């Protein structure tokens, strides 16, 4: 299925963040990022994070992308190739079941993926599982304010979508089911989940638009289960 008009707008915005250095500024706050040689982007979308990684760490870094959409992967591949990045492992897979061995990556990024994932804790645990001991994770997610501010934007479609997201978020909190695949996330719940799986919060931030940012370190080697490979 071709990307929608809204998805194409998101892609354009993502690449603006590459151009204005926003992604590099967030990555620059990750301790030890200069030593990362294997990087995974979970839910890579248009691929902007991957280019930012290559720009920061050089062509020797091994980048991999996982996304459930073939169309996003195709677009990411085209964008990266247009910027001279030929070697990128682009794979179709679910964030809740990553087909990578335990302890495989130095850095894993998941940017605005959790709102669309049916089981958020499962996706986070998978992200932790594939990190090496001492590996870093970077999570971006929607906090409640992101949708609250959209309730007052122009355009009935935007306001209705925001209202649906708020309702879906509340339902998800109490039932664990998403009736609409756009929900906000609780920073406190994510932090508790990370700590319960052997991780330490490195830094925490949020944007004026309501985007939450959490950087964490996997400090327990067997944090997410030994010898497991997602199928």
CATH of the domain at 54: 3.40.50.150
Residue 115 lies in a domain: yes
pLDDT at 134 over 80: yes
pLDDT at 16 over 60: yes
pLDDT at 168 over 50: yes
Residues 6+ apart with CB under 8 A from 164: 180, 182
Rounded Cα distance, 14 and 72, in Å: 12
Q: Are residues 27 and 14 in the same domain?
A: yes
Q: Are residues 123 and 165 in the same domain?
A: no
Q: Are residues 27 and 50 in the same domain?
A: yes
Give residue-wise pLDDT tens across range 78-113: 888 888 887 888 999 999 999 999 999 999 999 999
Q: CA nearest 49: which of 65, 32, 33?
A: 65
Residues 6+ apart with CB under 8 A from 35: 106
pLDDT at 31 over 60: yes
What is the secondary structure of 191-220 as a DSSP string?
HHHHHHTTEEEEEEEE-TTSEEEEEEEE--
Give residue-wise pLDDT tens across range 116-132: 999 999 999 999 999 99
Q: Are residues 122 and 210 in the same domain?
A: yes
Chain mean position to CA 132: 18
| Residue 228: predicted pLDDT | 46
Residue 46 lies in a domain: yes
| Residue 1: predicted pLDDT | 60
Q: How many domains are there within the chain?
A: 2
The beta strands (E) that lie in the chain are given as 38-42, 62-67, 89-92, 105-111, 131-142, 199-206, 211-218
Give residue-wise pLDDT tens across range 32-59: 999 999 999 999 998 999 999 999 999 8
| Residue 230: predicted pLDDT | 44
pLDDT at 208 over 80: yes
| Residue 81: predicted pLDDT | 87
Q: Which domain holds residue 167?
A: 144-184
Q: What is the pTM of this model?
A: 0.89
């Amino acid at each position: 299925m071709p990307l929608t008009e809204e998805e194409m707008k998101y892609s354009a915005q993502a690449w603006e963040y590459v151009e204005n250095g926003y992604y590099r500024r967030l990555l620059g706050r990750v301790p030890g990022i200069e030593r990362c040689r294997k990087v995974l982007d979970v839910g890579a979308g248009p691929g902007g994070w991957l280019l930012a990684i290559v720009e920061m760490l050089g062509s020797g870094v091994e980048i991999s992308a996982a996304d459930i959409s073939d169309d996003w992967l195709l677009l990411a591949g085209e964008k990266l190739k247009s910027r001279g990045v030929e070697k990128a492992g682009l794979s179709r897979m679910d964030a809740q079941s990553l087909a990578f061995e335990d302890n495989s990556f130095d850095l894993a990024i998941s940017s605005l993926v959790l709102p669309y994932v049916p089981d958020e804790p499962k996706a986070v645990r998978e992200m932790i599982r594939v990190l090496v001991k001492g590996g870093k994770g970077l999570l971006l997610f929607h906090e409640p304010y992101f949708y609250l501010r959209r309730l007052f934007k122009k355009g009935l479609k935007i306001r209705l979508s925001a209202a649906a997201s708020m309702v879906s978020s509340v339902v998800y909190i109490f039932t664990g089911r998403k009736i609409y695949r756009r929900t906000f996330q609780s920073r406190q719940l994510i932090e508790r989940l990370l700590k319960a799986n052997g991780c330490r919060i490195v830094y925490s931030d949020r944007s004026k638009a309501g985007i939450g940012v959490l950087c964490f370190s996997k400090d327990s080697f067997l944090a997410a289960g030994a010898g497991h490979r997602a199928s």
